[in-house]
Structure 1
Amino acid sequence: MTHRPYVLLSCALSLDGYLDDAADRRLVLSNDADWDRVDEVRASCDAILVGANTIRRDNPRLLVRDAGRRAARTAAGKPENPLKVTITATGDLDPAAAFFATGEQVVYAPSGVDTPGETVPTGARVDLGTVLADLYERGVRRLMVEGGSSMHTAFLTAGLADELHVVVAPFFVGDSAAPRFVGDGRFPWDATHRATLAEVRAIGNVAFHRYLLSRSEVDKHWLRRAVELSRNCPPSSTAFAVGAIVVDADGDELARGYSRESGGTEHAEESALAKLDPDDPRLRGATVYSSLEPCGRRASRPRTCTELILAAGIPRVVFALREPPTFVDGQGAEQLTAAGVEVVELPGLAGAAREVNRALL
Structure 2
Amino acid sequence: MPLPYVLLSAAVSLDGYLDDAGPERLMLSSPADFERVDEVRASVDAVLVGAGTIRADNPRLLVNSAERRARREAAGRAGYPLKVAVSGSGELDPAARFWHTGGGKVLLTTDAGARRARALGIAADIVPLGPELRWRTALEHLREELGVRRLMVEGGGLVHTQLLQQGLADELQLVLAPLLVGDPDAPRLFGPGDYQRGRLRLVETRRIEDVVLLRYLPTAPGTGRQVSAADRHWLALACELAELCPPSGTAFSVGAVVVADDGTELARGYSREGGDPVVHAEEAALAKTGPADPRLAGATVYSSLEPCARRASRPAPCARLILDAGVRRVVTAWREPDTFVPGADGSGVLAAGGADVVLLPEYEERAKAPNRHLDGR
Instruction: Give me the TM-score of the superposition, normalised by structure 2.
Output: 0.76
Residues 160-196 of structure 1, C-alpha deviation per residue, up to 9 Å, x if partnerless? 8443423141635141243210334x34x2xxx4277
Residues 1:100 and 2:100 are matched in the alignment = yes
Q: 1:340 aligns with which of 332, 348, 354?
A: 354
2: distance between equivalents of 1:135 and 1:319? 24
The match for 2:13 is 14
For the residue of structure 2 that corresponds to 1:128, the secondary structure is coil
Does the alignment pair 1:27 with 2:35? Answer: no
What is the distance in 2 between the residues matched to 1:92 and 1:324?
52
Larger CA deviation: 292-301 vs 79-88: 79-88
The structure 2 residue matched to 1:171, chosen from 149, 174, 178, is 178
Mark the CA change 1:224 to 1:11 in structure 2 (over 3 Å): closer, same or farther.
same
Structure 2, unmatched stretches of 5+, are: none
Confirm or deny that 1:302 pairs with 2:315: yes
Note the C-alpha offset of 1:138: 7.1
- Pairwise CA RMSD of aligned residues? 3.8
Distance 1:332 1:135 in 2: 32
Match of 1:287 in 2: 300
Inter-partner Cα distance in structure 2 for 1:97 and 1:59:
6
CA gap of 1:95–1:284, structure 2 versus 1, over 3 A, is same
Q: In the alignment, which residue of structure 2 is the partner of 1:203?
A: 206
Q: Does 1:79 align with 2:78?
A: yes
Structure 1 pair 238/310, CA: closer, same or farther in 2 (3 Å)?
same
Q: Please say if residues 170 and 230 of structure 2, whose CA atoms lie closer than 8 Å, have aligned partners that are also in contact.
A: no
User: Structure 1 residues 50 and 195 mapped into 2: Cα distance closer, same or farther (>3 Å)?
Assistant: farther
The code of the aligned residue for 1:171 comes to P
Taking the TM superposition and a 5 Å limit, the aligned residue runs for 1:158-307 are: 159=166, 161-169=168-176, 171-176=178-183, 177-184=185-192, 186-187=193-194, 189=195, 193-194=196-197, 197=200, 200-204=203-207, 205-211=212-218, 215-264=227-276, 265-307=278-320
Matched residue count: 352
Instruction: Please say if residues 62 and 101 of structure 2, whose CA atoms lie closer than 8 Å, have aligned partners that are also in contact.
Output: no
Contact 2:6 2:153 in 1 (8 A): yes
Shift in CA distance, 50/344, structure 1 to aligned 2, threshold 3 Å: closer
SS of 1:222's equivalent in the other structure is: helix
Quick one: distance in 2 between partners of 1:153 and 1:260?
43
| Mapped partners of 1:259, 1:134: distance in 2 | 34
Does the C-alpha gap of structure 1 residues 183 and 347 become closer, same or farther in structure 2, counting only changes over 3 Å? closer
Counterpart of 1:326 in structure 2 is 339
Counterpart of 1:279, as a letter, is: A
SS in 1 for 2:258: strand
1:4 shift after superposition: 8.4
Residues 194 and 115 (structure 1), Cα distance of their counterparts in 2 relative to 1, 3 Å cut: farther
- Looking at structure 1, the residues matched to 164 and 348 of structure 2 have their Cα atoms a distance apart, in angstroms, of 35
The answer to which of 245-254 and 131-140 deviates more is 131-140
Deviates most, 236-245 or 105-114: 105-114
Which residue is 1:45 aligned to? 45
More deviation in 23-32 or 328-337?
A: 23-32
Q: Distance in 2 between matches of 1:296 and 1:92?
A: 55
Separation of aligned partners in 2, 1:282 and 1:160: 21
Offset of 1:290 from its aligned partner? 0.9
Unpaired segments of 5 or more residues in structure 1?
none
CA distance 1:111–1:27, change in 2 (3 Å): same
Judged with a 3 Å threshold, the aligned counterparts in structure 2 of structure 1 residues 195 and 146 are, in CA distance, closer, same or farther, namely farther
1:314 pairs with 318, 321, 327, which one? 327
Higher mean Cα deviation, 101-110 or 196-205? Answer: 101-110
Farther-moved stretch of structure 1 (230-239 vs 205-214): 205-214
> Residue 320 and residue 140 in structure 1: after superposition, are their counterparts in 2 closer, same or farther (change >3 A)?
closer
State the identity as a percent: 45
User: Contact between 1:111 and 1:121, CA under 8 Å: does it hold in 2?
Assistant: no
**Structure 2 residue matching 1:221: 3-state secondary structure:** helix
Judge which range, 55-64 or 224-233, deviates more: 55-64
Checking the alignment, whether the CA contact within 8 Å between 1:39 and 1:65 is kept in structure 2 is no
Deviations 1:8-38 (A, max 9, x none): 4321223321223456353233563674355
Counterpart of 1:256 in 2: which secondary structure?
Answer: strand
After TM superposition, the structure 1 stretch with the greater mean CA deviation from structure 2, 56-65 or 218-227, is 56-65
CA 1:197–1:39: 2 relative to 1, 3 Å? same
TM-score, normalisation: structure 1: 0.79
Aligned partner of 2:138 among 118, 129, 132: 132
1:262 counterpart SS class: helix
Within 2, Cα distance between the matches of 1:256 and 1:160?
23
- Supply the distance in 1 between the matched residues of 2:281 and 2:96 (Cα, whole angstroms): 60
State the alpha-carbon separation in 2 of the partners of residues 345 and 247 from structure 1: 17
